[in-house]
Chain A
Amino acid sequence: MRRSKVLTLFMALALTAGCGGGGNASSGLPADQKQPASSGSSTGNGIRLGILGQCEGPFGGFHEDVVAGTTLALARFAGASPSSKTSALEGFSGAKVAGTPIELVGIGCGDDTADRIVQEVRRLVEQLGANVIIGPLSGDEGIAIAEYAKAHPDLTVLAGISGSQEQTLHVRAPNYFRFYGDGAIWNAGLGDLLHNKEGWETVAVIADDYSFGHTSAAGFIADFCAVGGKVTHRVFPPLGTTDYSSYIAQLPNPDEVDGYFWAVGGTGTQAALEAFVNGKGDLTGKQHAGNLFFNPDLAQALGTDIAGAYVGGFATLPSDVRTPEIEEYLAAADKTWESIPGALSGNKPAKPSVAAAFGFFYGYYTAGVALAEALEAVGGDITDVPAFHKAIAGLTLDLPYGDIKLDANRSGIVDVGLSRLVNESGKVVQQTVAIVPGVDQTFGGTFSPDTPSPGRDSPACAKRDLPWAGKAITVVNGVPQR
């Protein structure tokens, strides 16, 4: 008798929730449709936008930033007005391009895992009826969402800031577009600079032992080896390492190698750098370079001695470069909100331009701009999905930090900004030194749909011609010397 009560309750709950979810008791089995019922009907009446952010996990602090990025793009180019002056998470209203309204149906809440993001995108698409997705944020999520896009050809996905190479190079979903670079691209040109300008012949690489670490290292290795450098050591400490000293010990001593390249993120950044100081010697600008994790906001363990070190790019340029377009973009962010609690301000309210100047915000911004411009290009008519996708693929976006167009696999061909760390009266800041123009994700044939994903041993160190070698545009005092 007890059991029956529970079971009845269970059943009642199930049925209520099922019908309450908006069930249409039509003939046959509605659940047997491969396509969600809502997506077909919604194509006629505008864009139903879902944004995939991350509110948990290591990038949980950037949730506000990324939603704000897309919101700013739609505020600037689609007339959207945010519902709150102090947060982007409240959504926006009034967005419309060429007569087609853009409605935000939901914000997905990822936790840096592929499983969760697939569930979130299914909720946005299959329950809330989204027909355009902007996101996701991180590498493995990107691969999963690209696969999801491939299986749902009517959906349109504009990637957020996910940095894995495979989501475009290997998956090649025709409806998945990425208007920014990948983790490898962001280190393009760094090897050229270090080898030819700083005279590094040999380098030791230390990177996280997972896809983003591998991809970052791959971009650097491909570039450094292409111009004739040698990689003597590749050390990959596993994620979850607390004591890095045994891994640091596997690196050569400072007198045995010209320099070190770092791609260790999260808590690992502080712990690994600390372990280096403990075991090998002080961190000097002359001998160190890193990917975006070397940003002084992320790598707080860097002392002032690190001045002189080179840092790879990450979608935007450091704050010393101030073109009119950038000024306009940052001012627009400050006009859209009074403040937003972005990650760089420790999720405390701060000027929106602080978040807008960083890559996470900007990646989602480029996706929003792409959406608005593509709608403009098709005159607001999204009933012909292939034509809409073709319009997106053909876009060249005129963006504040450089123009971006897409390659054959719908991944961005971008300009990469390389910077150096300088000591500004006791505070380490980034100073842009070069802009590497027109970088694409194949690295002159190093990576292709048939090559293995970047890994512990791949790519091999080989000399080859890179289209951008020697073409870097020098930047002096924030002004590119074109």
Chain B
Amino acid sequence: MTPALIDTDSAAVESRPALAVSRFAPLRRPSGWVAAVVAVAFAAWVLFLADGTPAGPAVDDPGRFMVTVLDGVTFAGLLFVAASGFTLIFGLMRTVNMVHGSLFLLAAYIAIRVQETMVGRSRNIVPADVGVLDWVVPLLVGAGVAAVLGLLVQQVFLQWNEGQEMRQTMVTLAITVVLADQMLREFGGLARRMVWPGAATHFLSIAGERYPTTRLFMLALAVLVGVLLWLWLTRTSVGMIIRAGVDDRQMVRGLGINIRRVFALTFLAGSFLAGVGGVMGASFAGAAPGTDGSWLLNALIVVIIGGLGSLRGAAAGSLLYGTVVAFSPAYLPSQYSYYAIIMTFGLLALVLAVRPYGLFGRPA
């Protein structure tokens, strides 16, 4: 049983996992009901009942509601980019790549340096100073460095112990500890940030609420990444080999295909995606020591919700997680809004209690 990277056949998703685990999964069948009840209760609360919350019922303040929805979807875009590389690598190679967060942060730091050099200033940079190239070039440099470093990690430390999940996890964890320390030495402890290009920075009015186009730009980038990934995996021969490798590694090998080269390519792509996520994340929320850990965690949460190794799961997980992140501070009763961050994880516990392998995952 292996998770499919692209679930082309949804019927297969429904039937296959049930076979193996049905004996331990008496809760599996009512999962649809549970989800429906939760969704209806959630909608009713947000639409009509949410008196005494910071945002108020959506019928009273539709602008606030729409902004919250947009916040959730746009943040989900960033989450998707950050998680897609992680799930890609896991899907093919079964490696829980703990270095993902470090690559995310490293790309961010490097891109910030490149941008500062290109703009010629290290602080008080405003979007108007930043041309499109001043953002895209740092993005490519940062993500490129992350990709090369990721490939290096895979070639040196992960290639020869393929199949030993725990050992690989610990090796990458140790590398993460070293990288975090070395980044602190190289880039210092202060928070830095990347600046969005001026061309992407405008403000809209949505039902009377101010809304930035940078968040929509972020979402558009995420959609672009998702589409390109999908095309790569479904329309190119390499992509097809990757998908075949996900389903049956031995068979691919038997066909005379050099699977090691495919692994290397996957790691390169996954690390590049981590880097792209890092540069977007640094533009959205800055970068500092600790950002690596929190984004590794974000990526983990997304793929746990969605199911490890499934690209579609990553998209669904991002959307769900982004929605909860946006809605819980706004629609919890005011005196409980401090507990919003716990809600995020409550979602996770709920999903896993109902589907132990995530929405689109299968037993590993």
List A residues 304-334 near B (Cβ within 8 Å): 304
In Å, the complex CA distance between A266 and B334 comes to 25
Structural contact, B285 and A274, CB atoms closer than 8 A:
yes
In Å, the complex CA distance between A316 and B349 comes to 48
Tell me if A202 counts as interface (CB < 8 A to partner B): no
Residues of A within 8 A of B184 (CB): 56, 60-61, 347
Residues of A within 8 A of B337 (CB): 250
Q: Specify the chain A residue showing the minimal Cβ separation from B331.
A: A246
Structural contact, B67 and A242, CB atoms closer than 8 A:
no
In Å, the complex CA distance between A130 and B173 comes to 35
Structural contact, A267 and B191, CB atoms closer than 8 A:
yes
Structural contact, A249 and B68, CB atoms closer than 8 A:
yes
Tell me if B340 counts as interface (CB < 8 A to partner A): yes
Structural contact, B124 and A304, CB atoms closer than 8 A:
yes
If A267-B290, A270-B191 touch, whether A249 touches B330 (CB-CB below 8 Å) is yes
In Å, the complex CA distance between A347 and B182 comes to 12
Chain A nearest CB from B286 CB (Å) reads 3
If A267-B290, A303-B126, A304-B124 touch, whether A274 touches B284 (CB-CB below 8 Å) is yes
Tell me if A278 counts as interface (CB < 8 A to partner B): yes
Q: Mark B199-221, 1 if CB is under 8 A from A, else 0.
A: 00001000001111011000000
Tell me if B190 counts as interface (CB < 8 A to partner A): yes
Q: Mark A418-458, 1 if CB is under 8 A from B, else 0.
A: 00000000111000000000000000000000000000100
Q: Mark A89-122, 1 if CB is under 8 A from B, else 0.
A: 0000000000000000000000000000000000
If A60-B289, A250-B329 touch, whether A298 touches B188 (CB-CB below 8 Å) is no
Q: Specify the chain A residue showing the minimal Cβ separation from B68.
A: A246
If A269-B191, A298-B190 touch, whether A243 touches B340 (CB-CB below 8 Å) is no
Q: Specify the chain B residue showing the minimal Cβ separation from A55.
A: B184
Structural contact, A58 and B188, CB atoms closer than 8 A:
no
Tell me if A346 counts as interface (CB < 8 A to partner B): yes
Chain B nearest CB from A303 CB (Å) reads 4
If A250-B337, A346-B187 touch, whether A296 touches B126 (CB-CB below 8 Å) is no
Residues of A within 8 A of B340 (CB): 238, 246
Tell me if A83 counts as interface (CB < 8 A to partner B): no
Q: Mark A233-266, 1 if CB is under 8 A from B, else 0.
A: 0001110111111110110000000000000001
In Å, the complex CA distance between A373 and B266 comes to 64
Residues of A within 8 A of B214 (CB): 278
Tell me if B288 counts as interface (CB < 8 A to partner A): yes
Pick from B71, B188, B190 the residue with the most CB of A within 10 Å: B190
In Å, the complex CA distance between A58 and B287 comes to 12
Residues of B within 8 A of A209 (CB): 338
Tell me if B341 counts as interface (CB < 8 A to partner A): yes
Chain B nearest CB from A28 CB (Å) reads 42
In Å, the complex CA distance between A304 and B126 comes to 8
Q: Specify the chain B residue showing the minimal Cβ separation from A282.
A: B203
Chain A nearest CB from B311 CB (Å) reads 22
Tell me if B235 counts as interface (CB < 8 A to partner A): no
Q: Mark A347-391, 1 if CB is under 8 A from B, else 0.
A: 110000000000000000000000000000000000000000000
Tell me if A62 counts as interface (CB < 8 A to partner B): yes
From the candidates B75, B189, B285, name the one contacting A270 in the complex (CB within 8 A): B285
Structural contact, A346 and B188, CB atoms closer than 8 A:
yes
Chain A nearest CB from B133 CB (Å) reads 21
If A300-B124, A302-B124, A303-B124 touch, whether A243 touches B285 (CB-CB below 8 Å) is yes
If A61-B190, A245-B326 touch, whether A296 touches B286 (CB-CB below 8 Å) is no
From the candidates A246, A279, A281, A301, name the one contacting B193 in the complex (CB within 8 A): A301
In Å, the complex CA distance between A244 and B67 comes to 13
Structural contact, A271 and B285, CB atoms closer than 8 A:
yes
Tell me if B325 counts as interface (CB < 8 A to partner A): yes
From the candidates B181, B287, B288, B341, name the one contacting A238 in the complex (CB within 8 A): B341
In Å, the complex CA distance between A267 and B122 comes to 16
From the candidates A58, A61, A241, name the one contacting B290 in the complex (CB within 8 A): A58
Tell me if A277 counts as interface (CB < 8 A to partner B): yes
Interface size of A as a range: 35 or more
Structural contact, A242 and B294, CB atoms closer than 8 A:
yes
List B residues 59-75 near A (Cβ within 8 Å): 64, 67-68, 71, 75
Residues of B within 8 A of A343 (CB): 188-190
Structural contact, A271 and B286, CB atoms closer than 8 A:
yes
Tell me if B55 counts as interface (CB < 8 A to partner A): yes
Chain B nearest CB from A317 CB (Å) reads 21
Chain B nearest CB from A148 CB (Å) reads 25
In Å, the complex CA distance between A301 and B341 comes to 25
Tell me if A398 counts as interface (CB < 8 A to partner B): no
From the candidates A241, A278, A301, A346, name the one contacting B190 in the complex (CB within 8 A): A346
If A245-B71, A347-B189 touch, whether A236 touches B338 (CB-CB below 8 Å) is yes
Chain B nearest CB from A12 CB (Å) reads 27
Tell me if B23 counts as interface (CB < 8 A to partner A): no
Q: Specify the chain B residue showing the minimal Cβ separation from A429.
A: B124
If A246-B326, A270-B191 touch, whether A58 touches B288 (CB-CB below 8 Å) is yes
Chain A nearest CB from B346 CB (Å) reads 14
Tell me if A18 counts as interface (CB < 8 A to partner B): no
Structural contact, B188 and A267, CB atoms closer than 8 A:
no
List A residues 142-185 near B (Cβ within 8 Å): none
If A238-B340, A281-B210 touch, whether A301 touches B189 (CB-CB below 8 Å) is no
List B residues 276-295 near A (Cβ within 8 Å): 281, 284-291, 294
In Å, the complex CA distance between A15 and B199 comes to 68
Q: Lowest 6 A-B CB distances belong to which pairs?
A: A61-B189, A270-B286, A271-B285, A246-B329, A278-B212, A346-B188
24 of the cross-chain contacts (CB-CB < 8 Å) are A237-B329, A242-B281, A242-B284, A242-B298, A242-B325, A243-B75, A245-B326, A246-B71, A246-B325, A246-B340, A266-B288, A266-B290, A267-B285, A269-B191, A270-B191, A270-B193, A274-B193, A274-B285, A278-B215, A296-B124, A298-B191, A300-B122, A300-B124, A300-B193
Chain A residues at the B interface, C-beta cutoff of 8 Å: 56-62, 209, 236-238, 240-247, 249-250, 266-271, 274, 277-281, 296-298, 300-304, 343-348, 426-428, 456
Chain B residues at the A interface, C-beta cutoff of 8 Å: 54-55, 64, 67-68, 71, 75, 121-126, 181, 184-193, 203, 209-212, 214-215, 281, 284-291, 294, 298, 325-330, 337-338, 340-341
Q: A61-B189, A236-B338 are in contact. List 5 more A-B contacts (CB 8 A).
A: A58-B288, A58-B289, A242-B75, A300-B192, A343-B190
